[in-house]
Amino acid sequence: MNKIGKTKIPHTTPRYSATFSNDINSDIRRAAATGIYDIRGGGAKRKLPTFDDLLFLGASISRYPLEGYREKCETSVTIGTRYAKNPIELDIPITIAGMSFGALSGPAKEALGRGASAAGTSTTTGDGGMTPEERGHSSKLVYQYLPSRYGMNPDDLRKADAIEIVVGQGAKPGGGGMLLGQKISDRVAEMRNLPTGIDQRSACRHPDWTGPDDLEIKILELREITGWKVPIYVKVAGARPYYDTTLAIKAGADAIVLDGMQGGTAATQDVFIEHVGQPTLAIVRPAVQALQDLGMHREVQLILSGGIRNGADVAKALALGADAVAIGSAALIALGDNDPIYEEEYNKLGTTAGAYDDWHEGMDPAGITTQDTELMKRFDPIEGGRRLRNYLKVMTLEAQTIARACGKNHLHNLEPEDLVALTIEAAAMAQVPLAGTDWYPGKPGTSY
Amino acid sequence: MLEFDLQENGLRKLNSALHDQKENSNQTVWKVTNPKGSHSIAVGIDAPIEVNIEGSTGYYCGGMNKQANINVKGSVGPGVAENMMSGKVVIDGDASQYAGATGHGGLLVIKGNASSRCGISMKGINIVVHGNIGHMSAFMAQSGNLVVCGDAGDALGDSLYEAKLFVRGKVKSLGADCEKKEMRPEHLELLEQLLSDAECDAKPEEFTRYGSARKLYNFNIDNSDAY
């Protein structure tokens, strides 16, 4: 030990760098060892402003509540009322987001269909086409129309209850898809018309249209092929929500699906997931503003996704103007993804339950994000469907509980005036007052 | 033959009538007059009928076609026969961008030239172009055959999968992972059939074959410059 004279110099406690944290250092070591960027599944894991930064005010003397369990609080929503002959009628405003067969196992897709149907809502295909199991078990199925067009054909298009033109995804605005060779089984390869075992890259742009004027013509083509029967959604990442919503409405969309950066992906570069896009909280008001400016709010429906977890999130999304929400990651957790019962096996993969995100490697101990036939056997689609139904029901009950407390007899009657924000950032993004004030940054008529 | 004036009756009525045709329909030959560059003409047909379009069309003519033979007596806009499943689409004139994009089957014949991105993401369709094709053609083409009797523009076959490309003229440049391949007897045989089906008098021996070098099939940092 060093001394100055007779005085021992004490050690300071080891101090980690906020800039070069352990996480960052491990990223650097990994990059140096492999020469390949880190690929993972899921959405942004960094701390972001979220719906948790908002609170409902509930009822008081100026507002009276509805009696829980006695007075009705409606939850239904109709999507596609603008042009479609057959709009989709959902019992609850919570839908299942697009996830591909390929990224997920066949039984997992079946479970999503079972759970969604039992709860009276829709599920959505993904970047791999429509499987018979999925169609068979989904009373309302939205068919995604993606840049890759894997498995796209007019027969499946006509079997769909709605078509979702995917322009972007919250986890990777401007990015294409990726399904690594480990998951390109014979069946996945056949559906995608690719050799087995190769890394499948999906384009980031549609192959036969570019820009909003082309999109309008593409929507016309899809309507002509399907006889103007089914709604056509346009899904965009929450990058420029005001302009993208405006352009999608102009192009003739029946509904807009808007996905924040917490929204999951099957596999993308970690740097993309964490550094491109905007938080879900920040994108809903600009999109609603675009709908209102064009006189299309509630005529063109807004479906918000990206990190929706519980009934409070649903209620907050609807209060800010969305017509419905979509869940992906949360649905997988309900099915059993990242369940601590598989902790030992997660440890063997170098991770822990709750943090497992190497879905692209196809080794999922829960048998959900895999094409490995042995792992898939662990997952029971009937039980999975039951769990998803329960979860959707609980979310709905939670949202109804909040709405009744705010005096609302339909979830759509929730409004921004029911909310306050806990932080200045959340107040600015949601355009609701900071708690205890009547102010938010940028509020018209204020000079802050 | 049934004659349909598009300007007088409108697109919806045309496509609706074509969709109503069944396998055993006796209304097998249709003539569409006054197309005047309209979009989405004869899309989504699923019957063994013949549709003759008397003039030029806009976007997506013959899109997602199944079984039908569609003949265009003029030129076509972007995305002709996009995602075609089967049947035959013949264009007398030129085709704009994305001709035959993502097509799964059938034969697309362009008697004039095709613009950029011809055969992009093709998944089994056969395309024969009597003239030249533009840049980035056969980008990410997965399967099927693209035959070009003239020249090809820049970056032919970029990020190609298993589609086969045959070019008679010059190729301005090849895209990432696309390379010249040996022309084997089975390729000459295939080419002869495609040229015959497309009523093209070029000789198979005059063509050069291009295909995937398959170096980008699984990510390798040593190939990162190609991405």
State the pLDDT at residue A432. Answer: 98
Distance from CA of A154 to the nearest CA of B (A): 6
Do residues A81 and A87 touch, judged by C-beta distance below 8 A? Answer: yes
Q: What is the mean pLDDT of residues A408-428?
A: 97
Which chain B residues have a beta carbon less than 8 Å from that of A225? 15, 43-44, 63-64
d(C-alpha B201, C-alpha A27), whole Å = 59
At A197, the pLDDT band (50, 70, 90 cuts) reads confident
Look at residue B224 and tell me if it is in a domain: no
Query: Closest residue of A to B64, CA-based?
Result: A154
Look at residue B223 and tell me if it is in a domain: no
Distance from CA of A207 to the nearest CA of B (A): 6
pLDDT digits (tens, 9 = 90+) for B156-180: 999 999 999 999 999 999 999 999 9
Instruction: Say how many CA atoms lie within 13 Å of A212 toward its Cβ.
Output: 12
Q: Which of residues 206-225 of A touch B (CB under 8 A)?
A: 207-209, 214, 217-218, 220-221, 224-225
Q: Which one of A206, A219, A224, A230 would you mutate to disrupt binding with B, by most B Cβ within 10 Å of its Cβ? A: A224
Q: A23-27, A94-98, A357-361, A444-448: lowest mean pLDDT where?
A: A444-448
Task: Considering only the beta carbons, identify the residue of A201, A207, A225 that sits closest to B63.
Answer: A225
pLDDT digits (tens, 9 = 90+) for A24-62: 999 999 999 988 889 999 999 999 999 999 999 999 898
DSSP state of A127: T
Does the beta-carbon distance from B40 to A220 stay under 8 Å?
yes
Which chain A residues have a beta carbon less than 8 Å from that of B85? 153-154
**Residue tagged 């490995």 (tokens):** A372
Distance from CA of B123 to the nearest CA of A (A): 6
Query: Closest residue of A to B65, CA-based?
Result: A154
Distance from CA of A215 to the nearest CA of B (A): 11
**Sequence-separated (6 or more) residues with CB below 8 Å from residue A95:** A116, A121, A122, A123, A124, A142, A303, A324, A325, A326, A327
Does the beta-carbon distance from B44 to A201 stay under 8 Å?
no
Q: Which residue range(s) make up the domain with B73?
A: 2-214
Please give the single-letter amino acid code of residue A174: G
Task: Considering only the beta carbons, identify the residue of A34, A35, A217 that sits closest to B59.
Answer: A217
Please report the sign of the dihedral spanned by the C-alpha atoms of residue A122, residue A126, residue A131, residue A133.
negative
Look at residue B226 and tell me if it is in a domain: no
**Residue tagged 């006509």 (tokens):** A158
Task: Considering only the beta carbons, identify the residue of A153, A199, A221 that sits closest to B60.
Answer: A221
Q: Is A361 helix (H, G, I), strand (E, B) or coil?
A: helix
DSSP run (H or E) holding A123: strand A123-124
Q: Quick one: how far is CA B17 from the chain centroid? A: 25
Query: Closest residue of A to B80, CA-based?
Result: A208
3-class secondary structure per residue, A2-68: CEECCEECCCCCCCCCCCCCHHHHHHHHHHHHHCCCCEEEECCCCCCCCHHHEEECCCCCCCCCCCC
* DSSP β-bridge partners for residue B133: B114, B152
**Sequence-separated (6 or more) residues with CB below 8 Å from residue A98:** A124, A125, A126, A127, A142, A144, A164, A166, A235, A328
Domain coordinates of chain A in residue numbers?
39-430
Ranges of beta strands (E only) in A222-332 are: 232-237, 255-259, 265-269, 301-305, 324-327
Ranges of beta strands (E only) in B57-185 are: 69-72, 88-91, 107-110, 123-129, 143-148, 164-167, 178-181
Look at residue B225 and tell me if it is in a domain: no
Look at residue B180 and tell me if it is in a domain: yes
Structure tokens at B170: 């010059």
Number of H helices, E strands in chain A: 15, 18
Look at residue B208 and tell me if it is in a domain: yes
Task: Considering only the beta carbons, identify the residue of A153, A157, A208 that sits closest to B79.
Answer: A208
Give A389-404 as a DSSP string. Answer: HHHHHHHHHHHHHHHH
Number of residue pairs across A and B with CB atoms under 8 Å?
Answer: 101
State the pLDDT at residue A17. Answer: 96
Does the beta-carbon distance from B63 to A207 stay under 8 Å?
no
Look at residue B112 and tell me if it is in a domain: yes
Domain A39-430 has CATH 3.20.20.70: yes
Indicate which CATH number applies to the domain containing B66: 2.160.20.60
Which chain A residues have a beta carbon less than 8 Å from that of B101? 207-208
Look at residue B167 and tell me if it is in a domain: yes
A152 in contact with B, Cβ within 8 Å: yes
pLDDT digits (tens, 9 = 90+) for A101-126: 888 999 999 999 999 999 999 999 99
State the pLDDT at residue A309. Answer: 98
DSSP state of B179: E
pLDDT digits (tens, 9 = 90+) for B72-122: 999 999 999 999 999 999 999 999 999 999 999 999 999 999 999 999 999
Distance from CA of B217 to the nearest CA of A (A): 5
Task: Considering only the beta carbons, identify the residue of A153, A199, A208 that sits closest to B104.
Answer: A153
Do residues B146 and B166 touch, judged by C-beta distance below 8 A? Answer: yes
Does the beta-carbon distance from B159 to A181 stay under 8 Å?
no
Does the beta-carbon distance from B121 to A203 stay under 8 Å?
yes
Please give the single-letter amino acid code of residue A280: T
Q: Quick one: how far is CA B83 from the chain centroid? A: 9
Q: What is the mean pLDDT of residues A350-379?
A: 94
Total domains in the fold of chain B = 1
Query: Which of A313, A436, A412, A307 shows the shortest CA–CA distance to A78?
Result: A412
Give A401-441 as a DSSP string. Answer: HHHHHTT-SBGGG--GGGEEESSHHHHHHHT-PBTTSS--T
pLDDT digits (tens, 9 = 90+) for B31-67: 999 999 999 999 999 999 999 999 999 999 999 999 9
Q: Which of residues 224-283 of A touch B (CB under 8 A)?
A: 224-228
Give B36-77 as a DSSP string. Answer: TT-SSTT-S-BSS-EEEE-S---TTTTTT-BS-EEEESS-B-
pLDDT digits (tens, 9 = 90+) for A426-442: 999 999 999 999 999 98
**Residue tagged 């440890």 (tokens):** A347
Which chain B residues have a beta carbon less than 8 Å from that of A156? none
